[in-house]
């Protein structure tokens, strides 16, 4: 590959912004690679800033999702305990198997999710 400005010179790399070949004379070194012009340098710096902002926003979103998930797990456990309690202490002469089954499912699901949640801390 040859330099896009100096066709007689061999390129040492490609511009990270536009992909054109650059020779040692044209190359502008950056931490992320080479660029061919100030315009491409500005574009790469803007992309890097946007990426950094996205990472920060992603971390905040991840924390919100995590706290919401913990709340849902706690609600599932409370529902499970409630259904089991009312299933076994119903006013009828026998327990209500539907309530016990639903309560058991909620409780098992909640405990399992709580276990998974605690392992990711």
Mean residue pLDDT of the chain comes to: 90
Domain ranges of the chain: 59-119
Q: Give me the mean pLDDT over the 4-28 stretch.
A: 92
pLDDT at residue 107, rounded to an integer: 95
Distances (CA, A) of 38 to 28, 33, 34: 8, 14, 11
Query: Of the spans 28-32, 89-93, 104-108, which averages the highest pLDDT?
Result: 104-108
Q: Please tell me the distance from the alpha carbon of residue 12 to that of residue 14, in angstroms, as a whole number.
A: 7
pLDDT at residue 77, rounded to an integer: 95
Q: How do 13-14 and 21-22 pair as beta strands?
A: antiparallel
Q: Please tell me the distance from the alpha carbon of residue 40 to that of residue 29, in angstroms, as a whole number.
A: 11
């Amino acid at each position: 590959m040859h330099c896009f400005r100096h066709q007689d010179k061999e390129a040492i790399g490609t511009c990270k912004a536009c992909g054109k070949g650059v020779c040692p004379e044209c190359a502008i070194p950056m931490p992320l690679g080479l660029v061919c012009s100030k315009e491409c340098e500005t574009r790469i710096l803007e992309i890097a800033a946007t990426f950094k902002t996205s990472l920060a926003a992603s971390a905040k979103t991840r924390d919100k999702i995590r706290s919401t998930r913990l709340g849902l797990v706690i609600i599932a456990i409370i529902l499970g305990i409630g259904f089991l309690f009312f299933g076994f202490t119903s006013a009828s002469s026998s327990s209500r198997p539907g309530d016990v089954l639903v309560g058991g499912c909620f409780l098992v699901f909640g405990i399992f999710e709580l276990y998974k949640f605690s392992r990711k801390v």
